[in-house]
Amino acid sequence: MIIGFWIAVTGLALVLFLAVHLGGVLLALVDPPSFESYAASLHQQGWLPWLELALLAAALGHPLLSLHRAHVNRQARGPASGPLGSRRTGAWEPLAALAGRAIPWSGSLLLLFLCLHLAQLRWHRPAAGAELAAVLEVLATPWCLALYGAAGVAAGLHLIHGTESAVRRLGLLEPANAAALRLGGRGLALLLGAGFTLVPIALVLRPAGPLLAGG
């Protein structure tokens, strides 16, 4: 179905962005001067506004298409149908089942976080060389730090379910490669989720002197 295809494509595009974005954010932790140079160079690129528009379209289109697909599926199953379950067994499956049930909540939290994150650090973009200071100022507010950590957990849960769903909708999930694709997708989900959860905390806890001096 064409809707499922675009849900998968927009979702995987956002996963790719998250992986690249986490790499950039990690620079703030391990090499602040390189992070500032990277941010300043990125913001000078002429193609950046077009990329941001494409990412915004994916970020809005993905949940809207998913809601439409869920509505269509609910109508097809009828009101008497219960929630779908999995017959697979294994150490991962309870977490995968939880991630599947939490999709509406994790997605909603991520959308809320995205709006706040853009308002804090994109729509009022810091001056060149002041990017890290702006990030630390945001994270110094306890409720913001808590929201950033919760968004990291939500991203991990969302991707545990979403990566497998995406490859299935693209017709790539087959018996011969299912185990490898599931393991790879779940590993990526945990890596991104842990990264976006722990890096903000690490930035706040790292001593100010070494951080500003580049380590």
* Whole-structure pTM value: 0.83
Of residues 169 and 74, more confidence is placed in 169
The conformation of residue 183, written as its DSSP 8-state character, comes to: H
pLDDT (tens digit per residue) in 121-147: 888 888 888 999 999 999 999 999 999
Comparing 14-18, 118-122, 139-143, 208-212, the range with the smallest average pLDDT is: 208-212
User: Token pair of 177, please?
Assistant: 């490669």
pLDDT at 148 over 90: yes
Q: What is the pLDDT, as a whole number, of residue 212?
A: 47
Rounded CA separation 61/162 (Å) = 15
Question: 57 is written with which tokens?
Answer: 């379209």
Print burial letters for 203-214: b (CB count within 10 Å at least 16), e (below 16): beebeeeeeeee
- The answer to whether residues 34 and 27 touch, using CB atoms and an 8 Å cutoff, is yes
Residue 161 has pLDDT above 70, yes or no: yes
Question: Encoding tokens for residue 29?
Answer: 């932790």
